[in-house]
Structure 1
Amino acid sequence: MRIALAQISSTPDPAANLVEVRKRTTEAAESGARLVVFPEATQCCFGVPLGPVAESLDGAWASEVRAIAAEAGVTVVVGMFTPADDGRVANTLLVTGAGVETSYDKIHLYDAFGFAESDTVAAGSEPVVVEVPDAEGPGTDPVVVGLSTCYDVRFPGLYQRLADDGATVLLVPASWGAGPGKRAQWEVLVRARALDTGTYVVACDQADPTTAGREHGKGPTGIGFSAVTGPRGEVVASLGAEPGLLVVDVDPASVADVRAQLPVLSNRRF
């Protein structure tokens, strides 16, 4: 499966961010990608009030993402904010295109390093896997993809659950907070989750906003260094801090062989 990671730097303007979604999706489709992954908070960067930005999954912003995915003929994963029942918002991944339609609400909220995501964001509760077509036409097997978001990557139990549910590719859209040691933590955690599950991990972060002429501001706004890690924990490919598009071929069929050689899922006791 050919996967594209669109490492962008979101602005506070959802309309401007849609322009970037269209541009990067078109580039990814032209490169032959079947799955295009954008970061958490693609709709709007953190650090601004999220309530006025949040829209339902059948709202105008999400509908335009659907149109972009349909036009390109690919499956798009994009981070947005949707209204929650208690007046807060949900930190949502929309997955749409090529016959796929689902969403995931971030389960583990970033109440850490002096930031309290739960003040404005309501936690999700359900792990989500989705079958994504690997190619057009009949006779092609879909790839089972597990969904997660940013701070989720610190909780290996979620990834083991997604692997138990059949995922061979795990997505981690993120808007990683900057700070001392945070890049090292990001890189170690992404590789560790691959080793915990014998699974490909596709981790797409927001680009470092300072490389796009903006500041980090009050919230976690990304550091870049998106990466794809293989089921043995090896880094298949990665980006730097600046915006970019990373196109990678992965082989989900190889996951079974890796899990047979190193059966951590079946050997675990807890």
Structure 2
Amino acid sequence: MKFALAQINSTTTVADNLDKVRDYTNRAAETGAEFVVFPEATMSAFGPGLRDVAEANTESWRAAMAQLAADAGITVIVGEFAVSGEKVINLLAVYSPQGERRDYAKIHLYDAFGFKESDTVVAGEDPVVIDLGGESLGVTLCYDIRFPKLYAELSRRGAKLAIVSASWGAGKGKVEQWQTLARARALDSNMFVAAIGQADPEVSGVDVPKKGPTGVGHSLVSDPFGHVISSLEGEEALEIVEVDLAGADKAAEAIPVLTNAKLGY
């Protein structure tokens, strides 16, 4: 499977974010990638007025994403928002070139490190596995990566690759936590893990809101044995990755942690 990681910084200007998504998607399509995955909060960065942004832009954003996937001939996986009452839903949406759309609503909200996502976001309830080119992929968002049972469930449902799309909060040790968690989820679920985050705005020079998680970069792909097979630094970048998903079966045979698990976990 060949895919692209689009490590970008989004802002609260949806039109600018859309232009950037178009650029990176077209570049990914030119490489022959089957899909391109963008960070959490690509439609709009976290910041004040997020519900108003979602209310004004969700319909046009979705139409633009559907058209982009069709025109470029590539599946686009992208972080976006939709209105839910007085709050929003934090979504990772999948747009196919055939006009199909699926999404995952973030289950674990980021109420940590002094930020409270649940003040403005409604939590999802259901894990999601999608079919892409005959392969099963799990889709997750950011803080989800700290919860191993979710990834074990995705693996039990047949996923061989889990995508975690993030706008990772910066701070002391946060890059190391991000890298360690991605490799750990690969190891304890017998899956490849593609961890794609917003770039580090201090490196990229993009002006992002200071209220809320921004990004640290350092996106990576881990194989099911915890080996990093592709990684980025802090800047905005497009990374093309090729993996043989049969490696997930080999890992499950060699280290059958889910089969050996007791008490259902």
Q: TM-score, normalised by structure 2?
A: 0.95
- The Cα shift of 1:191 comes to 0.2
What do the CA deviations read for 1:5-55 (whole angstroms, capped 9, x no partner)?
000000110111000000000010111110100000000111232111114
Identical residues among aligned pairs (%) = 49
What do the CA deviations read for 1:68-105 (whole angstroms, capped 9, x no partner)?
11111111100011011x31000011101134421000
Q: Could you say which residue in structure 2 is the equivalent of 1:177? A: 169
Q: Could you say which residue in structure 1 is the equivalent of 2:77? A: 77
Q: Structure 2: state its 5+ residue gaps.
A: none
Pairing 1:226-265 to 2, within 5 Å after superposition: 226-265=219-258
Distance in 1, matches of 2:253 and 2:74, equals: 32
Q: Could you say which residue in structure 1 is the equivalent of 2:107? A: 107
For the residue of structure 1 that corresponds to 2:50, the secondary structure is coil
User: Quick one: which of 170, 182, 191 aligns to 1:199?
Assistant: 191
**Matched residue count:** 261
AA matched with 2:72? A
For the residue of structure 1 that corresponds to 2:251, the secondary structure is helix
- Runs of 4+ in structure 1 off by over 4 angstroms are 55-58
Q: Structure 1: state its 5+ residue gaps.
A: 134-141
Q: Could you say which residue in structure 2 is the equivalent of 1:62? A: 62
Pairing 1:100-139 to 2, within 5 Å after superposition: 100-133=100-133
Contact 2:183 2:226 in 1 (8 A): yes
Contact 1:209 1:216 in 2 (8 A): no
Distance in 1, matches of 2:56 and 2:158, equals: 28
What do the CA deviations read for 1:169-228 (whole angstroms, capped 9, x no partner)?
100000000001101100000000000111110111000112232256111010000001
Contact 2:204 2:234 in 1 (8 A): no
Contact 1:2 1:248 in 2 (8 A): yes
Q: Could you say which residue in structure 2 is the equivalent of 1:186? A: 178
Cα distance change of structure 1 residues 56 and 90 upon mapping to structure 2, 3 Å threshold: farther
Contact 1:149 1:174 in 2 (8 A): yes
Contact 2:11 2:209 in 1 (8 A): no
CA RMSD for the aligned pairs? Answer: 1.4
For the residue of structure 2 that corresponds to 1:109, the secondary structure is coil
Q: TM-score, normalised by structure 1?
A: 0.94
- The Cα shift of 1:246 comes to 0.7
Contact 1:109 1:151 in 2 (8 A): yes
